[in-house]
Chain A
Amino acid sequence: MKKGVRKVTLLYSLLTIAVLVMAGIWANELFMKTEKETFLIGETTHGHHQIEMACATCHQSPFGGGDVLQDACVGCHAAELKAAHDSHPKSKFTDPRNADRLEQIDARYCVACHREHQPRITRDMGVTMATDYCVACHKDIAEDRPSHEGMAFDTCASAGCHNYHDNRALYEDFLLQHSNEPAISAQPIIAAMQAYVAEPAAVNAAPQPDYPVQTFKAAEAEKQWLHSAHATEDSNCSSCHGAGERFTEQPDALVCLDCHQAQAEGFLTGKHGMRLAVKRDAVESFPLNPSLKALQNPEVRLLTPMTPAQGRLPFKADVHDQSLTCNTCHGAHDYPLGASAAVEACMGCHDDRHTNEYKASPHYALLLREAAGELPAGSGVTCATCHMPKLESEQEPGEFHTQHNQNANLRPNEKMIRTVCLDCHGLQFALDALADPALIENNFQGRPSVSIDSIKMAIERVKE
């Protein structure tokens, strides 16, 4: 009998020790480690996977529910939704008259349609809601729009006609306004690029470089610097490398944001730089503080820079472990701009068919002709023309800068219609081209093989 009691006691003791050891291991991972893989309940979407280990970026409180998550979504995405003239803002659904609709889809919360950690049901743009979600509120649409009679309810947002959030290039009056445009305009020029290159560059006599160490490497860097727009007193060696006791041979990855705030903001909110924006206190990461200075301290940052190995797109094998910072595309001292940063830098890493077909595309042919002086500035189309377009500053009209968040102009791809496509193409052509996956894949070599009926339907409706 006593032996039996001892055995049970021993068993319970071992179990208790095992539980305590497991709890210790998990607690160590939860509170001490940056990577918390054990607690990742499912793969995150393409938009968040780079920062999925910084759990507190979204889960800002361990006791938070829907509202805490909603605050996190809004913290990062509110500005872009506002810029997109969001067709379905939360404020449309808070009126009690929509109570019965909310029972079907609680559209006050982003997670109603964008549930994270659900890879099996996640579709394009991180949507996890069934494809016929429009029917919940618009099932009677054919009463007002007889042309919509018989259309399947999963085609509203999948056929190049409507988007849930961004319809700036798809609403009826816009379609009518652009209904008679040719496929290619008479003067195909990217207006923002033309304005950007027209900005007069400051011409100064090169100052004496103030780099304190004379080495072969420094001499090479000096040559490159002297031939760059950085060869000014305001951006001398010490501006990035520090002066006196603050001198460092390797400036921080984010040293550029001292002068290039707008570009840095885009970079840090896009897929290339978002990891660098996550602070150790991840709750404080987004929205980006207007003063980004704190991020220049590596001790403040939780994550290392993104590498292509961490991406989900096809990348070239030889760059898999290359850290992505400003200098990856722009270099350190020669910082190539123009076609080099806007084409070669992209093609140096990306290895998908769309990228690899670029140099066979009519867009690249235009770039070559522009470079040869056969066409005016703004005629060529680089990767960045569409994915990192030039934007006019809201604060300083007439000033242009490059949007460094490559996703801001991409998902859904109709986002680029107004900012880029319409500068050279008619709306019908742009709608058709962007709805043709094969044409996108071969980088627009040829004509669209699909035809979007939106403009035709809008015209017929006016005739009625």
Chain B
Amino acid sequence: MKVTKLWGSLVLAGSVVLTAGCGGEEKAAGIDPKIMADSLFAVMASDRANYTKLIIKRLGAQGKFIKPDEHWEDLENGAPLPAQMFRFGAEAVAERTDAFTYSLQSLWPINKQNAPVTEAEKAGLQYIVDNPGKNYYGEEELGGVKYYTAVYPDVAVATPCVDCHNEHKDSPRTDFKIGDTMGGVVVRIPM
């Protein structure tokens, strides 16, 4: 009788340990990378639009309070351009975590280093230009690691965006209009 009780206890304890060790089915499944990428992009896009409209457009018009400039560090009241602010965010995130990365790229980049490099980036950026309003989702392997890669359209929301890109001496395209897809945000999540 005692032996039966002992075995019963051991089996029960083993089950508990195994269940706890596995973490349950729900935990093992994790978050869908598409939902994660979409959520991350929602935060990025909101912050980017707010910085553009609430800071740059409101305080930087005619350089009244701040002067948005590519070389803002050289100016006493200089402020980073929205695209630079976005990049600084991506760099700061990269210093805190490697759970995801993001970058701003374009088929017509002012800085050539921001042109698509990988096949997924090339396909994704072309897709969002050819299919306005749609996102691109794919997978790719880089440096021996598999990634879930999402590309979201970066649309011109304010005249300074369009004017700056059309007038910049390094810009390969000079006919952007409000509402155009000027580039894309590439979000990458290791799988």
Q: Do A and B bind each other?
A: yes
Tell me the A residues contacting B by CB distance below 8 Å: 85, 89, 91-92, 94-100, 102-103, 137, 140, 144, 171, 173-174, 461-462
Cβ 8 A contact of B118, one of A97, A103, A140, A462 = A97
Report if A96-B188 is in contact (Cβ < 8 Å); known contacts: A89-B91, A91-B91, A461-B169.
yes
**Chain B residues whose C-beta falls within 8 Å of the C-beta of A95 in the assembled complex:** 90, 94, 101, 103, 188
A102 adjacent to B95 (CB under 8 Å)? no
A96 adjacent to B169 (CB under 8 Å)? no
Which of B46-54, B140-148, B174-182 is near enough to bind chain A? B140-148
**Chain B residues whose C-beta falls within 8 Å of the C-beta of A99 in the assembled complex:** 142-143, 145
Which of B10-18, B68-76, B154-162 is near enough to bind chain A? B68-76
B169 adjacent to A94 (CB under 8 Å)? no
Q: How many angstroms between the C-alpha atoms of A99 and B190 in the bound complex?
A: 13
Report if A96-B71 is in contact (Cβ < 8 Å); known contacts: A102-B143, A144-B112, A461-B169.
no
Residue pairs across A and B with Cβ atoms less than 8 A apart, 8 shown, are A91-B92, A94-B94, A95-B188, A96-B142, A96-B145, A96-B188, A97-B117, A102-B143
A462 adjacent to B169 (CB under 8 Å)? yes
Q: How many angstroms between the C-alpha atoms of A386 and B179 in the bound complex?
A: 51
Q: How many angstroms between the C-alpha atoms of A98 and B92 in the bound complex?
A: 17
Sort A-B residue pairs by CB-CB distance and give the 7 closest, nearest first: A99-B143, A91-B91, A99-B142, A96-B142, A94-B94, A95-B101, A97-B117
- Interface flag for B98 (CB, 8 Å): yes
Annotate B106-117 by CB proximity to A: 1 below 8 A, 0 otherwise: 000000110001
Chain B's interface size range is 20 to 34
With both beta carbons as reference points, the residue of chain A lying nearest to B69 in the complex is identified as: A173
CB distance from A155 to the nearest CB of B (A): 20
Q: How many angstroms between the C-alpha atoms of A85 and B73 in the bound complex?
A: 9
CB distance from B132 to the nearest CB of A (A): 24
**Chain B residues whose C-beta falls within 8 Å of the C-beta of A102 in the assembled complex:** 143
- 7 other A-B residue contacts (CB within 8 Å) besides A95-B94, A99-B142, A174-B71: A89-B91, A95-B103, A97-B121, A97-B188, A99-B143, A144-B112, A144-B170
A171 adjacent to B71 (CB under 8 Å)? yes
B101 adjacent to A91 (CB under 8 Å)? no
Q: How many angstroms between the C-alpha atoms of A91 and B103 in the bound complex?
A: 11
Report if A96-B94 is in contact (Cβ < 8 Å); known contacts: A173-B70, A173-B71, A462-B169.
no
B147 adjacent to A96 (CB under 8 Å)? yes
**Chain A residues whose C-beta falls within 8 Å of the C-beta of B70 in the assembled complex:** 173
Q: How many angstroms between the C-alpha atoms of A461 and B95 in the bound complex?
A: 36
Taking chain B's interface residues, is the majority helix, strand, or loop, or is none over half, making it mixed? Answer: mixed
**Chain B residues whose C-beta falls within 8 Å of the C-beta of A174 in the assembled complex:** 71, 74
CB distance from B121 to the nearest CB of A (A): 7
A94 adjacent to B121 (CB under 8 Å)? no
Cβ 8 A contact of B101, one of A89, A94, A140, A461 = A94
Q: How many angstroms between the C-alpha atoms of A89 and B90 in the bound complex?
A: 13
B126-175 CB contacts (< 8 Å) to partner A: 142-143, 145, 147, 169-170
B188 adjacent to A91 (CB under 8 Å)? no
Q: Which of B71, B121, B147 has the most CB of A within 10 A?
A: B71
Report if A96-B91 is in contact (Cβ < 8 Å); known contacts: A173-B71, A462-B169.
no
Annotate B5-43 by CB proximity to A: 1 below 8 A, 0 otherwise: 000000000000000000000000000000000000000
CB distance from B82 to the nearest CB of A (A): 18
B60-101 CB contacts (< 8 Å) to partner A: 70-71, 73-74, 90-92, 94-95, 98, 101
Q: How many angstroms between the C-alpha atoms of A15 and B73 in the bound complex?
A: 66
**Chain B residues whose C-beta falls within 8 Å of the C-beta of A94 in the assembled complex:** 94, 98, 101
Q: Which of B70, B118, B121 has the most CB of A within 10 A?
A: B118
**Chain A residues whose C-beta falls within 8 Å of the C-beta of B145 in the assembled complex:** 96, 99
Q: How many angstroms between the C-alpha atoms of A174 and B71 in the bound complex?
A: 9
CB distance from B140 to the nearest CB of A (A): 9
**Chain A residues whose C-beta falls within 8 Å of the C-beta of B186 in the assembled complex:** 97
CB distance from A281 to the nearest CB of B (A): 27
Q: How many angstroms between the C-alpha atoms of A174 and B70 in the bound complex?
A: 11
Q: How many angstroms between the C-alpha atoms of A193 and B141 in the bound complex?
A: 56
With both beta carbons as reference points, the residue of chain A lying nearest to B74 in the complex is identified as: A174
Report if A91-B95 is in contact (Cβ < 8 Å); known contacts: A96-B142, A102-B143, A144-B112.
yes
